[in-house]
Structure 1
Amino acid sequence: MQPLRDAELGASTFFASPLPHDVCGSNGLPLTPNSIKILGRFQILKTITHPRLCQYVDITRGKHERLVIVAEHHEKSLKDLLKQGKPVSADKVLHVAYEVLEGLEFMNKHGMVHRALSTNNVLLDHEGKVKLAKFGLYHMTDHGADVDFPIGYPSYLPPEVIAQGCFCPSEPSISEAHLPSGPKTDVWSLGVLLFEISVGRRILQNIDISERMKFILTLGCMDDIITVLAEEHGCIETVKELPESVQFLLRKCLTFLPSKRPTPAELLTDSVFEGISCHYPPYQSPVRLFSAAPRSAFLQLPEDISELCKDDKEDYLSERAIDEVYHLWCLAGGDLEKELTNQEIIQSKPPVCTLPKFILEDGESFGQGRDRSFLLDDTTVKLSLFQLKNRLKDVAGETYYPLLEDEQSSLPQSTSSNELSAVVTLPLIIRERDTEYQLTRIILFDRLLKAYPFKKNQVWKEARVDIPPLLRGLAWAALLAVEGDIQSKYDGIDKDTPIPTDRQIEVDIPRCHQYDELLSSPQGHVKFRRVLKAWVVSHPDLVYWQALAYACMSAFIPKYLYNFFLKDNSHVIQEYLTVFSQMIAFHDPELSNHLNEIGFIPDLYAIPWFLTMFTHVFPLHKIFHLWDTLLLGNSSFPFCIGVAILQQLRDRLLANGFNECILLFSDLPEIDIERCVRESINLFCWTPKSATYRQHAQPNKPVSENNGFGKTPYYASEYHDITKADLSREPLKLSELKAEVSPRISVEDLIDLCELSGPACLKTPIKRARTGKPKILAVDIRSLEEYPFLIFSRGHIPGSINIPFSSVFGPDGELLQCPAGSALAGYRLRVIVILSSVMRNATTFAAHLVKVSFPRVCVLDGGMNKMKSTGLLTVPSPQI
């Protein structure tokens, strides 16, 4: 987005054509409102940036198909030059023409035409440079098909458009729409407005509309249209005095036949601009974050650096991107409809005044005529930034230029720094609505993302605090480690050739969050379809389960949903659900016991959770906050989210049976998403990293030097590819995995958590509980009767306790006593690791602890046989 600088924010409004309520589409669903269609097409306009075009910023949808557009605005226009009542210099005419053509050519490259050129919509910035406004109206309305007013001004429309006449697509008698206008349409319009500023008066304005059309159509019989126009408006002498270059340009533009009229691109290369084009260097699009080209900025510093901050009242806000300023304007209390109402652009009417018109048998009519408010009002209302600037008046200039290498707090040092520090402790929804806080976060993330991937670790660090909604898309891409020229890769995928999954995609897209205006629009469907199809085409081994979205999807799915979309994915899903069941038993054994007793297994409710990473469960505004944290964790974090959801519903689940639980999950109650995120992080930090091991997970890849939450360092939960492979977890058959209630952890995990003096690569700091004691307790259940040479007294893990298996279970497996009530009663705040030389004994012992609702119970994978090879067992010194 362009910086605001001398520009202003402007708002304009119009109505989309209403649709009949009793008509459905070919799919049997209600027709998509035209306002939704327009909103979808508008999105591409926000990405079009050029010095000759006013930047589009936002679109909002109101009642009765009303749309409000926010865009860059300048007070001065070519209309102001006409008000002076005198011709503009020939040099100025040529410069205006060249600048307008630059903007038109850029639009044409994006498949768009202006179609609404007039002196009103050719704005001038503070340097007098051209800025084309309203250039997207023709595109967003589908060439005028979605509105009840014509696009363009009759005085400036070319003959071929006038000849088509009025077209109203909502009329059932119209079978075909008119052909859309091409680039040459704007060249004629340019010729008319250049003629006007050359002679210093408006033309074709004071003629009746029907006479005006007749006059324009008769111009086709004239050899010299310029002379005819001059004679008609009494300015023949002025035209004769124009330089030949200007007259030549006017004749080129006002060529009656479109076939002979040049396009903007052709006209730009004409010899008439030879002395002018050298003043306009070729436009270079800004290098985006994810591209092959190196990102750099041309910085020109004054000789005296102190001059940079000399003016204490400098408008730092004007240097921010225009979309940032608008976002902050909304947070500071900006209201588009209120601004338009204050300017009487929006006028409310009593219901009685909106009654339809009735015609009696004798022809007498009652009621009102056509509501003129549904026609286009070309007024642009300037949005005042006074309230925003007043809100930010205490923010110091240093806030706008934070030092990324500063080890101090990233919050600005200003008079309000204490207040901003306090905001960090407030709920996320409040932070996202705080103007000053969002300003600091947006500026900080903007600078960090521009330095990505060099500042990748700092992006992770700041994302742990929160992610500003305005930059969420780019921040997510950075957290997913997206890099390189993603646009070229996406463009190289065939997204048009029909494939077998097309039908399924067409069916699924209309089911996806259609309450969201953008996702429900036809353009939203098109973009979504292309992203999904690009994924399917580029992964031919997978069934169906824009560039940045595709790149993020390509990084997201392997990380969290690896092999979920294989043609036969049952073994992958079943392993995932089994590990999830073990996580429920690990963190909440009482709830796990109840759900197992009533047969309410994860297969009945959790598959849509994990298959869609909870987008099937929550609305988008909650998904945004959930994924802000999800992307900081590894592939095991979704298990913790699932457990956190169940714990919020814990009381209701424990009080209900199978049928009631089924009904509960068929219409999931409201979930406090901030509490869910907070508890998920806590669960994640209590879960040993190897407890969520899955053999069908993505091959190991170190995620970060920390787990994304500032806690215990970790590697990815895909744990079979580590330095000490013999200390890692071993894969189990699915049947064996399902038979075990508690998860297993690796020897490496045990060494880490017990702070044993193991290999340097495994020695890491431990997270201790609030009591100051280690989180873990090793319970050695070896019995003297089993292996006398491996008994506890001849070698054990330092700090472990011994509860012989034979003292708890009899020879036939009957329970003799419950260890949870005596020996383990004081250890409920620790992770309990069961160690044995017989894995069956260890899993049986762990299952009993879960049955008596003992939390955080797990089993050492490989048992003491694996632990013995580390040489870390302790033999107690003989007492004298």
Structure 2
Amino acid sequence: MFPLKDAEMGAFTFFASALPHDVCGSNGLPLTPNSIKILGRFQILKTITHPRLCQYVDISRGKHERLVVVAEHCERNLEDLLRERKPVSCSTVLCIAFEVLQGLQYMNKHGIVHRALSPHNILLDRKGHVKLAKFGLYHMTAYGDDVDFPIGYPSYLAPEVIAQGILKTTDHMPSKKPLPSGPKSDVWSLGIILFELCVGRKLFQSLDISERLKFLLTLDCVDDTLIVLAEEHGCLDIIKEVFYDFHSYELMKDKVFSEVSPLYTHFTKPASLFSSSLRCADLTLPEDISQLCKDINNDYLAERSIEEVYYLWCLAGGDLEKELVNKEIIRSKPPICTLPNFLFEDGESFGQGRDRSSLLDDTTVTLSLCQLRNRLKDVGGEAFYPLLEDDQSNLPHSNSNNELSAAATLPLIIREKDTEYQLNRIILFDRLLKAYPYKKNQIWKEARVDIPPLMRGLTWAALLGVEGAIHAKYDTIDKDTPIPTDRQIEVDIPRCHQYDELLSSPEGHAKFRRVLKAWVVSHPDLVYWQGLDSLCAPFLYLNFNNEALAYACMSAFIPKYLYNFFLKDNSHVIQEYLTVFSQMIAFHDPELSNHLNEIGFIPDLYAIPWFLTMFTHVFPLHKIFHLWDTLLLGNSSFPFCIGVAILQQLRDRLLANGFNECILLFSDLPEIDIERCVRESINLFCWTPKSATYRQHAQPPKPTSDSSGVRSSAPYFSSECPDPPKTDLSRESIPLNDLKSEVSPRISAEDLIDLCELTVTGHFKTPTKKTKSSKPKLLVVDIRNSEDFIRGHISGSINIPFSAAFTAEGELTQGPYTAMLQNFKGKVIVIVGHMAKHTAEFAAHLVKMKYPRICILDGGINKIKPTGLLTVPSPQI
């Protein structure tokens, strides 16, 4: 969007047509309210930007089908020129005509017809240039179908529009669909307006509405409309003088504009972030550097886009309905005054006054920015232009101003409502994203602090590594040819996050359908599973006007977090995933794990929708946004920690109930504190060794980046730790049945060496480590017999032979190391032995005794022997 500059923001309101409550559509579902339909169609108007068009910003849906539209606004319009009641000069009329035609031409190229062109909808900015207002009303209302008032003004309607009359088509009352108006109707309206400017007064003022419409209908049958109009209004001499040479010109290319057209440069829409064109093509310095700063003033807010300004205006206390009430555009009426005089048993009523509120009030209310400017008066100019190259901070510190450091420690929900904080974050992310992919490492860094809601869509795309000509790729995919999954998609979409106004609109359904079909068609090795629609919802919501980006994000997200989940036969992938999740529950909360296993409440009964949709099926969108802000910073094992964090919030209720009660509990999941869930999942992730969540069917790890990459040296315990590459000391794959038989997770020798901070000789490689003070303490329990232990063991390990470790009652046998084991309860404990069966049983015993963070060394002691790290105790003399 363009900067606000010297423009203002305005709001106008209207009502959509109400639908009957007892009628269903052709699909058997309740009818979609017309206000929802309008809201969906409106979205595309936000993408139409041109210097001659007022930028649409937002639409808000209120009670009783009320809609409030926010758009760019200017106080002056052509109506002001007509009030002077004197002819406008020919040169001015030519400039106005050319600028209006520029706007109409751009609209028509995007399939939009104004239909409501009139002098008060042709605004003039402070430099006198034209801006067309309300150009999207005809489009968003489905050519007038969804409102109870006609689109257009009688004096400026083309004869064919009047002749067609008003004919509505609805879902529950099908009728012959009228042909929508085309660009020619706008040309007629412009001609009438230019006529009025030339003669200096409005036409048809002496005629009432019916006579006016009859007269306009007769104009469709005359040869020279201009002469008839001039004679009717007694201004034939003026018209002959002005239009003598060029009243039959061809628009835009006529020689009449030969002197005007060179004054205007051709408008080219700026390249978007994920555009195939060169984004820096227009970034050239002028020869005279002083020209670069000639227009700069101290109003830094005016340099921000109108979308940002409106977002900040809302945060600063802006209330659309209150603004309209203050200007008496919205008037309350006592309910008793709306009752009919007679009401029959069949529901028919009589004597009810006509409710004129359903008609269009064309007033546009200017939204005052005083409150916002007052809120930001202490924000310095440097905050609007942060330096990106002065990167001295380390994770997780932010580059935002020092004054905001206190705000950064507040809960996320408060930060997202803080005007000054959001201003700084929006500006910083905007500049970082414009430098993507060069600044993607800094985007990762700032995203760890938080992501401003306004920038979330593009930031997610950057975190997922989306690059390239995404629109060209999306356009080449066949989204129209019928495929077998069409029926299932049609069934699923009307049930997917339909509480959201945007996604429940017909436009939202159509976009859902195209994005999902594009993914299915472009991934022939995968299939559509129920839940894919829920997975698509967050990306579509954030990129509603950019289907290609929604598709690209979804295509990048699924291989990272749901690799092979959408195979035709995905049972082996799902079963392995759920088994690892069970081990994670036992690792972090053995008491809960023991209880769930005893009552038979296994993850297969509740967790499949969690992971198949990455929680989008169980949480509303506003919670998913905060959850995924963190999820996208983690690797493919982070969802396990989210799942455990959810269970721990329900821990008390789960422990107190049996199987049936747990089933009922999860059939309607209780309210989850998502901020607490995110906080605890990060903590769980930091306590989980990387290899503990190893899966055979996970996406193969990518090679680590070089020094210019994002995560070439990610900390060991970090929510942005990548999936580790495979080495000689990595975990080996084991059969699924063997994995299911083990209660505790395995960890690799690589992890053990890193956690114990041992030095490896030879060709073995270990991950990057954090400092000793910042990692959890670790205890290695060697369960071999004492003779084997003496021959060689891991430095710092203790020996508790498996054969004599537990009593017949399952209690731990008292010995020299029992107290040490008890002291390490709550820390990571690694069980090491010769036989996998014994280590698994030993670990299971400890889990039964409610020891958390128990894991097994994969491959046993034999995996460590080649490294030369085993030590032999000094002989006792």
TM-score normalized by the length of structure 1: 0.92
- Relative to 1, partners in 2 of residues 1:631 and 1:691: Cα closer, same or farther, differing over 3 Å? same
- Relative to 1, partners in 2 of residues 1:434 and 1:454: Cα closer, same or farther, differing over 3 Å? same
Contact 1:707-1:713 at 8 Å conserved across structures: no
SS of corresponding position for 2:12:
strand
Contact 1:536-1:543 at 8 Å conserved across structures: yes
Distance (Å, rounded) in 1 between the aligned partners of 2:146 and 2:205: 27
* Runs of 5+ unmatched residues, structure 1: 253-266
Distance (Å, rounded) in 2 between the aligned partners of 1:713 and 1:623: 21
Q: 1:792 aligns with which of 779, 786, 789?
A: 789
Contact 1:741-1:843 at 8 Å conserved across structures: yes
Comparing 568-577 with 203-212, greater Cα deviation is found at 203-212
- State the partner residue of 1:340: 324
Contact 2:155-2:203 at 8 Å conserved across structures: yes
Distance (Å, rounded) in 1 between the aligned partners of 2:741 and 2:814: 22
* Cα shift at 1:349: 0.3
May I ask how many residue pairs the two structures share in their alignment? 846
- Relative to 1, partners in 2 of residues 1:155 and 1:684: Cα closer, same or farther, differing over 3 Å? same
Distance (Å, rounded) in 2 between the aligned partners of 1:304 and 1:19: 60
Q: Does 1:817 align with 2:819?
A: no
SS of corresponding position for 1:247:
coil
Q: Aligned runs of 1:647-686 on 2, under 5 Å? A: 647-686=648-687
Residue deviations 1:611-650, cap 9 Å, x none? 1111111111111110110111011000000000000000
Comparing 559-568 with 834-843, greater Cα deviation is found at 834-843
- State the partner residue of 2:13: 13
Distance (Å, rounded) in 2 between the aligned partners of 1:171 and 1:460: 47
- State the partner residue of 2:83: 83
- State the partner residue of 2:542: none
Q: Aligned runs of 1:222-233 on 2, under 5 Å? A: 222-233=222-233
Distance (Å, rounded) in 2 between the aligned partners of 1:591 and 1:734: 23
Q: 1:830 aligns with which of 805, 827, 831?
A: 827
SS of corresponding position for 2:119:
coil
Contact 2:637-2:693 at 8 Å conserved across structures: yes
SS of corresponding position for 1:382:
strand
The aligned amino acid for 2:77 is: S
- State the partner residue of 1:26: 26
* Runs of 5+ unmatched residues, structure 2: 530-546
- Relative to 1, partners in 2 of residues 1:299 and 1:338: Cα closer, same or farther, differing over 3 Å? farther
- State the partner residue of 2:534: none
- State the partner residue of 2:298: 314
Contact 1:14-1:377 at 8 Å conserved across structures: yes
The aligned amino acid for 2:831 is: I
Q: Does 1:859 align with 2:856?
A: yes
Distance (Å, rounded) in 1 between the aligned partners of 2:825 and 2:290: 62
- State the partner residue of 1:475: 459
* Cα shift at 1:839: 1.4
Q: 1:375 aligns with which of 359, 367, 372?
A: 359
TM-score normalized by the length of structure 2: 0.92
Distance (Å, rounded) in 2 between the aligned partners of 1:605 and 1:173: 44
Distance (Å, rounded) in 1 between the aligned partners of 2:398 and 2:696: 43
Comparing 639-648 with 846-855, greater Cα deviation is found at 846-855
Q: Does 1:138 align with 2:142?
A: no
Q: Aligned runs of 1:416-431 on 2, under 5 Å? A: 417-418=402-403, 420-431=404-415
SS of corresponding position for 1:38:
helix
Distance (Å, rounded) in 2 between the aligned partners of 1:110 and 1:814: 75
- State the partner residue of 1:712: 717
Distance (Å, rounded) in 1 between the aligned partners of 2:408 and 2:126: 40
* Cα shift at 1:278: 2.2
- State the partner residue of 2:844: 847
Identity of aligned residues (%): 71
The aligned amino acid for 1:114 is: H
Distance (Å, rounded) in 2 between the aligned partners of 1:10 and 1:425: 36
- State the partner residue of 2:166: 166
Q: Does 1:581 align with 2:586?
A: no
Comparing 159-168 with 841-850, greater Cα deviation is found at 159-168
Contact 1:690-1:729 at 8 Å conserved across structures: yes
The aligned amino acid for 1:668 is: L
Residue deviations 1:446-472, cap 9 Å, x none? 011111111111111111111000111
Residue deviations 1:719-761, cap 9 Å, x none? 5x53x2x211111111111001111111111111111112684
Distance (Å, rounded) in 1 between the aligned partners of 2:80 and 2:765: 73
Q: Does 1:753 align with 2:755?
A: yes
The aligned amino acid for 1:639 is: F
Q: Does 1:521 align with 2:505?
A: yes
- State the partner residue of 1:350: 334
SS of corresponding position for 1:824:
helix
Contact 2:713-2:768 at 8 Å conserved across structures: no
Contact 1:292-1:484 at 8 Å conserved across structures: yes
The aligned amino acid for 2:636 is: S
- State the partner residue of 1:238: 238
Contact 1:54-1:131 at 8 Å conserved across structures: yes
SS of corresponding position for 1:550:
helix
- Relative to 1, partners in 2 of residues 1:128 and 1:802: Cα closer, same or farther, differing over 3 Å? same
Distance (Å, rounded) in 2 between the aligned partners of 1:564 and 1:557: 8
SS of corresponding position for 2:9:
strand
The aligned amino acid for 2:120 is: N
Aligned-residue RMSD, C-alpha: 2.6
Contact 2:716-2:770 at 8 Å conserved across structures: no
- State the partner residue of 2:213: 213
Residue deviations 1:122-145, cap 9 Å, x none? 111122111111011011000000
Distance (Å, rounded) in 1 between the aligned partners of 2:775 and 2:514: 54
Q: 1:512 aligns with which of 496, 505, 508?
A: 496
- State the partner residue of 1:109: 109
- State the partner residue of 1:730: 732
- Relative to 1, partners in 2 of residues 1:750 and 1:764: Cα closer, same or farther, differing over 3 Å? same
The aligned amino acid for 1:212 is: R
Q: Does 1:71 align with 2:56?
A: no
Distance (Å, rounded) in 2 between the aligned partners of 1:657 and 1:34: 47
Contact 1:757-1:763 at 8 Å conserved across structures: no
The aligned amino acid for 2:360 is: L
Contact 2:25-2:171 at 8 Å conserved across structures: no
